[in-house]
Amino acid sequence: MLKSFYESCYNVRIGTVALVGRPNVGKSTLVNNLVGHKVAITSPRPQTTQFRIYAVYEKDDIQIIFVDTPGIFAKAPRKDINLEAERALKEQIDIVLYIIDHTRKRGIEENRVLGILRKIQKPKILVINKIDKEEPSFRSDYRFLEEEFDEIVEVSALKNKNLPILLQTISKYLKEGQKMVVREDMPTPAINLDSKLYIAENIREKAFLVLRDEVPYTIRVVVDEVTQRKNGMFYIKARIVTTTDGYKKMIIGAGGARIKQIGSMARKELELATGQKIYLDLKVEVEE
């Protein structure tokens, strides 16, 4: 997929960086804040990233493609989820960031991640996230990792702490070459998602934020139509798809309160991102 991004341009320092780790360690938040745009959905629920997302960081003579992968489960609810992260690492990857959350105990998921990483013969950086939180801390559980990685950087993705240090560390392993992406030719934010997929992920994030733990993460969003009306307003027709009638009722809420809240939150963010007036027609349907 990355090959389609390659364009001729002057020589810069370039590299493709994959982020891996167990669910909900802050990979998407880290990508969002490194790139400076919202490119991956972030919510308190694990496993909100269901596919690989390519995002572009560019400054001065440096260009980095960040690949945000789904979190790796000990027991994945879908067989293809763990495979997505493994496929990403088999592509044209130059550097791997292994993100850990020191406030969580080491578990089976970490062993699965390490099993994958030990097969990768590329520079590997251990990124200890959430240093803005002092307690609880299980740093001793991860101390053995120090010998297995080329670099160790401690950050707070949420608070933007030490992110310049992380970028500086990554830059040590970049190579000289031509730009992989001509950023001016891409929409802002510069990502590989088409407009419908970007809209769908935005709506899905808002659903997670509103519903919390009541509905499984397997809900998905389908965008059926994006058209501009004569008055200049953009009309978006979308569906939240869930698995049972019970979940449908939860998503809609009493008197339609929840679906209205989800739609309002998504519409406001899309208007802010695009600078356009938007009418969002949002419904819920069941697909077993």
Q: What is the pLDDT of residues 31-80, one digit of tens each?
A: 878 887 655 444 444 444 444 556 778 888 888 888 876 544 344 444 44
Q: What is the pLDDT of residue 168?
A: 94
pLDDT at 135 over 80: yes
What integer is the mean pLDDT of 99-103?
91
Q: What is the pLDDT of residues 242-274, one digit of tens each?
A: 888 888 998 999 999 999 999 998 888 777 666
Residues of the chain with CATH 3.30.300.20: 195-286
pLDDT at 87 over 70: no
In whole angstroms, give the CA distance from residue 89 to residue 271.
Answer: 35
| Sequence-separated (6 or more) residues with CB below 8 Å from residue 14 | 62, 63, 64, 174, 175, 176, 177, 178, 179, 180
Architecture of domain 195-286: 2-Layer Sandwich (3.30)
Could you tell me the pTM of the whole model? Answer: 0.61
Assign residue 159 a region: left if phi > 0, alpha if psi is -120 to 50, beta otherwise?
alpha
Q: What is the pLDDT of residue 10?
A: 55
Q: What is the pLDDT of residues 196-239, one digit of tens each?
A: 777 887 788 788 878 876 666 667 888 898 888 888 888 889 99
Residues of the chain with CATH 3.40.50.300: 2-185
What is the token pair recorded at 248? 């449908």
Q: What is the pLDDT of residue 181?
A: 67
Environment class of 108 (CB within 10 Å of its CB; exposed 0-12, middle 13-18, buried 19+): exposed
Q: What is the pLDDT of residues 146-192, one digit of tens each?
A: 888 999 999 999 899 999 999 999 999 999 988 776 655 444 444 44
CATH top class, domain 2-185 = alpha beta
Q: What is the pLDDT of residue 46?
A: 44
Q: What is the pLDDT of residue 4?
A: 43
Q: What is the pLDDT of residue 203?
A: 87
Q: What is the pLDDT of residue 86?
A: 59
Q: What does 94-127 look like in DSSP terms, one character per residue?
A: SEEEEEEETTS---HHHHHHHHHHTT--S-EEEE
Q: What is the pLDDT of residue 165?
A: 96
